């Protein structure tokens, strides 16, 4: 079995476990279609989970459904690295905006989330956290022109940022001019709900800040880049008091 196939199956088992925990009975044929695999493969996945001690039992509903034993406790929550980053960002945003009435000890949450990973993954998460900054909420003026980021562009930006690969973007400026740029996305800044990317811009041969919702298209390049120190971008961040998640 190839490494890619193994990883895909591990991710699938994790997702299947999460689905069983989050919902009632699930129909095997439906979940097989959702995962893009055969009914036989999903049956093998169910058997693997049973062998790991997950109490999956048959449901008498339509189409061969299964469910978790209702008396079984969920226990420890498992997060992917990306989910951990998203949670830590959410905690930092809540803290920065002074809205932590329901999360009094945010530092404890941050420590526990990070500690749930292996040391190697903790280092990876710390590296990503060090490249993200959280500032104050966006102004009304900025919000008046704010738009959503299409999923395809958002996914591409995440990949480019996490893997530290250069990208070619088409960018619409504030005066609606569109230019083509070759960028290196070094840092992310959130002024809720608007995300900015602090980049090296080959066109300007200098550092530049790009607003993510103004990126019209994106293509990831094969070339990687070395991280620049945050101090190279501090001039552009003057007046924007930020913290790390």
Q: Enter the pTM of the model.
A: 0.64
Handedness of CA 63, 66, 70, 73 (dihedral sign): negative
Helix (H, G, I), strand (E, B) or coil at 26: strand
pLDDT in tens, 129-172: 889 898 888 999 999 999 999 989 988 998 899 889 999 999 99
CA distances from 38 to 30, 45, 102 (A): 10, 11, 44
* Pairwise pLDDT comparison (163 vs 81), residue with the higher score: 163
Supply the pLDDT for residue 1.
Answer: 46
Supply the pLDDT for residue 237.
Answer: 85
Supply the pLDDT for residue 99.
Answer: 54
Name the β-bridge partners of 190. 134, 195
DSSP 178-229: EEEEEEEEEEEEEETTEEEEEEEETTTTEEEEEEGGGEEEEEEEEEE-PPPP
Supply the pLDDT for residue 103.
Answer: 53
pLDDT in tens, 168-179: 999 999 889 999
Other CB atoms within a 10 A radius of the CB of residue 91 amount to 19
* Pairwise pLDDT comparison (224 vs 19), residue with the higher score: 224
Supply the pLDDT for residue 4.
Answer: 44
Supply the pLDDT for residue 136.
Answer: 86
Supply the pLDDT for residue 71.
Answer: 63
pLDDT in tens, 33-43: 888 888 888 88
Supply the pLDDT for residue 106.
Answer: 65
- Is 3-68 assigned to CATH 1.10.10.10? yes
What does the block give as tokens for 101?
């009435």
What does the block give as tokens for 162?
């996490």
CATH number of 140-237: 2.30.30
pLDDT band at residue 207 using 50, 70 and 90 as cut-offs: very high
Residue length of the chain: 245
C-alpha closest to that of 176 among 208, 149, 216: 216
* Pairwise pLDDT comparison (165 vs 55), residue with the higher score: 165
Supply the pLDDT for residue 141.
Answer: 93
**Gap between the Cα atoms of 96 and 234, Å rounded:** 19
pLDDT in tens, 89-105: 777 776 666 655 555 56
CA distances from 62 to 23, 25, 28, 66 (A): 16, 10, 10, 10
pLDDT band at residue 243 using 50, 70 and 90 as cut-offs: confident
Locate the domains of the chain by residue range.
Answer: 3-68, 81-129, 140-237
Helix (H) or strand (E) holding 108: helix 106-115
**Gap between the Cα atoms of 87 and 78, Å rounded:** 12
Handedness of CA 190, 210, 84, 18 (dihedral sign): positive
Supply the pLDDT for residue 66.
Answer: 84
């Amino acid at each position: 079995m190839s490494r890619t196939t193994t990883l895909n199956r591990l991710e699938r088992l994790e997702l299947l476990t999460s689905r069983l925990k989050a919902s009632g009975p699930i129909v095997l044929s439906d979940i097989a279609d959702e995962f893009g695999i055969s009914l036989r493969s999903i049956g093998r996945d169910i058997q693997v989970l049973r062998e790991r001690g997950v109490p999956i039992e048959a449901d008498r509903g339509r189409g061969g459904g299964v469910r978790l034993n209702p008396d079984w406790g969920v226990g420890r929550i498992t997060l992917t690295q990306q989910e951990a980053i998203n949670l830590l960002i959410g905690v930092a945003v809540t803290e920065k905006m002074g809205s932590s009435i329901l999360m009094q000890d945010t530092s404890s949450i941050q420590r526990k989330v990070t500690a749930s990973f292996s040391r190697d993954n903790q280092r990876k998460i710390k590296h990503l956290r060090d490249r993200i900054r959280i500032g104050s909420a966006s102004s009304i003026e900025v919000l008046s022109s704010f738009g959503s980021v299409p999923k395809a562009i958002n996914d591409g930006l995440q990949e480019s940022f996490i893997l530290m690969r250069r990208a070619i973007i088409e960018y619409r400026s504030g005066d609606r001019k569109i230019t083509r740029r070759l960028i290196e996305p070094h840092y992310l800044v959130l002024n809720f709900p608007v995300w900015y990317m602090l980049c090296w811009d080959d066109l300007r041969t200098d550092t530049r800040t790009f607003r993510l919702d103004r990126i019209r298209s994106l293509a990831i390049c094969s070339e990687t880049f070395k991280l620049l120190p945050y101090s190279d971008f501090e001039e552009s961040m003057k007046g924007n008091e930020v913290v790390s998640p």
